[in-house]
Structure 1
Amino acid sequence: MADDFDLTPPELTTEDLLVLDDPRFGPETAAIVTGAASGIGHATALALAANGLTVVGADVDEEGLDDTAGKAAALDVPGEVHTVPTDLTDDDDVAAMVDAAAEAGDLRYVANVAGMQHIASIPDFPMGKYDLLLDIMLRAPFLTAKLAMPHVRDAGGGAIGNMSSVHGHYATQDKAAYITAKHGLTGLTRAIAAEGGGTLRGFSVSVGYVLTPLMVNQIEDTAEERGISEQAVVEDVMLGQARTKEMMTPAEVANLFVFGFSSHATHLNGGDMLHDGGYSTTYE
């Protein structure tokens, strides 16, 4: 790889995290974070705990969840991270996750972060993989919202944030299931806003390429699918159209959820926070 691109996911520190003074950010407030075992979900769980919230981190990866809880303890953040092993394709597991969060405090916030990727053209795309991606990234957020919204209303309001992508705004090749799910999240986000009465908000976060373990794997898969080098994937495919020539870090994405949940984002409702370095908004 070129020296300009370090593909080692960065080590997160408390200095990376946005901490806000917000009357609802305290231990009595609970937040769900899916995909909390790694990457953006891991960082989001830590960022919310750094703001004093009680976080229920959910993931199918129990070892990764333990690492997230251990990292919270190592950083000595004021909020607690409770781990709830959860298979998002299992409705009973999703219900148990929401129940655990409601028992942990006033459930006000949900960060639907969990995701996965599969690289293949549409004619070659395995339907089993398609179904799995849609189950995790669209059906599970819908079910989580369905079960969480009554609790958020009972708590007096809050927000459900959905992890979208620049691929929720446009399409590239070989990612059809991912693109379909992210476009669907736009509709879910707006539907939550439409039914939220103004105090229960829905928003999405769209970013470009984020340096996570999942992304490193995607670079390898894309290089193989397109028959090009990994360096070409980073320089030409991922960052070629962007104006900001570096990948985002998980902490930078997590901070967007912190802001979106806060009282500073009262008018962020049904909308999308697009931070893509100009990828989808400029061209040559």
Structure 2
Amino acid sequence: MPDQEMDLSAPELTPDDLLRIDDPYFDTDSVALVTGAASGIGRATAVALASNGLTVVGADIDAEGLDGTGDVVSEFDAGGAFHGVETDLTDDEDVEAVVEAAAEEGDLRFVANIAGMQHIASIAEFPMEKYDLLLDIMLRSPFKTAQAAIPHIEATDDDVGAIANMSSVHGHYATKDKPAYIAAKHGLTGLTRAIAAEGNGTLRGFSVSVGYVLTPLMINQIEDTAAERGISKQEVIEDVMLGQARTKEMMAPAEVANLFVFGFSSHAKHLNGGDLLFDGGYVHTYE
């Protein structure tokens, strides 16, 4: 298929895509903070959690995108609520402020650190300012968010809650031209385990690792990888991205959001320090 005929748009989110779980903590008194909530996986997760009756506070630098997420929650007639807070995740004061805003909405129990970005370049050519930005958003910010949120979760009547980090197959192995992303995702594994170690069993830490998800970020990555390697976008998808996978299709954002819903639920009370690896066979079937 010629590149100009390729449909690289993210799939439209519908209510039927979302997992719904009957859970004692899934109500409007419980608050979930979701970073990167203006688009992609973050938006889908915010909508999914609101659709499960939670009060959701979404953090993102894209205020217009947050408004769009709120519109989707309203359109879905979700049982919960959504409040968008424009947030610069590289600013500690902003991170502290959005955590406080979430805590003011009810019992802050859940945090989904989803915000991310990508830059394609070799180590030798990687701009340090891009390296610093990626690590700030995808590793330092989740640490700061956890630091600010943990006291609020521990202040609930039973200390029950969870902090979830968006990892990746690139948190399990490395490929070329993504050194900052890979470093950040490997670092999140350690942070997730540290949260679990300090949570005393009731405050859990877990991560979610998936392969390629058709989001605006991924569309940009396909285009960047094609330019970096001098191949077509179709070749990037079929050979670079899906070549090693056993499941020959990209995930939809809703499928990832559902993993956060399950991970936050009481059904996942033994998921602590571990990783939900839904990768289509990338990691353990290498060839």
Distance 2:27 2:123 in 1: 46
Q: Give unmatched runs, 5+ long, in structure 1.
A: none
RMSD: 1.2
Distance 1:8 1:146 in 2: 36
Partner of 2:37: 36
Runs of 4+ in 1 over 3 A off after TM superposition: 1-6
Distance 1:223 1:168 in 2: 22
Partner of 1:165: 168
- Where do residues 175-186 of structure 1 align in structure 2 (5 Å cutoff)? 175-186=178-189
> Per-residue displacement from partner, 1:51-97 (whole Å, max 9, x unpaired)?
00000000000000000001100111111000100000011100000
Partner of 2:190: 187
Partner of 1:249: 252
Distance 1:169 1:72 in 2: 33
Distance 1:136 1:8 in 2: 24
Partner of 2:150: 149
**Letter of the aligned partner of 1:178 in structure 2?**
Y
- Where do residues 1-284 of structure 1 align in structure 2 (5 Å cutoff)? 1=1, 6-155=7-156, 156-284=159-287
Identity fraction in percent:
75
**Letter of the aligned partner of 1:168 in structure 2?**
G
Give the 3 Å change call, closer, same or farther, for CA 2–196 of structure 1 in structure 2. farther
Q: How many positions carry a matched residue from both structures? A: 284
> Per-residue displacement from partner, 1:97-138 (whole Å, max 9, x unpaired)?
000000001000000000000000000000000000000000
Distance 2:286 2:82 in 1: 42
**Letter of the aligned partner of 2:165 in structure 1?**
N
Shift of 1:7: 2.1
Distance 1:198 1:6 in 2: 45
> Per-residue displacement from partner, 1:187-242 (whole Å, max 9, x unpaired)?
00000000000000000000000000110110000000011111100000000000
**Letter of the aligned partner of 1:180 in structure 2?**
A
Distance 2:106 2:31 in 1: 5
**Letter of the aligned partner of 2:240 in structure 1?**
V
Distance 1:242 1:191 in 2: 30
Distance 1:218 1:77 in 2: 32
**Letter of the aligned partner of 2:33 in structure 1?**
I
Shift of 1:2: 6.3
Shift of 1:283: 2.7
Shift of 1:281: 1.0
Q: State the TM-score, normalized to the length of structure 2.
A: 0.97
SS in 1 for 2:177: coil
SS in 1 for 2:25: coil
Distance 1:56 1:30 in 2: 7
Distance 1:143 1:75 in 2: 32
Distance 1:2 1:271 in 2: 41
**Letter of the aligned partner of 1:89 in structure 2?**
T
Give the 3 Å change call, closer, same or farther, for CA 6–246 of structure 1 in structure 2. farther
Q: Give unmatched runs, 5+ long, in structure 2.
A: none
Q: State the TM-score, normalized to the length of structure 1.
A: 0.98
**Letter of the aligned partner of 1:270 in structure 2?**
G
Distance 2:96 2:142 in 1: 12
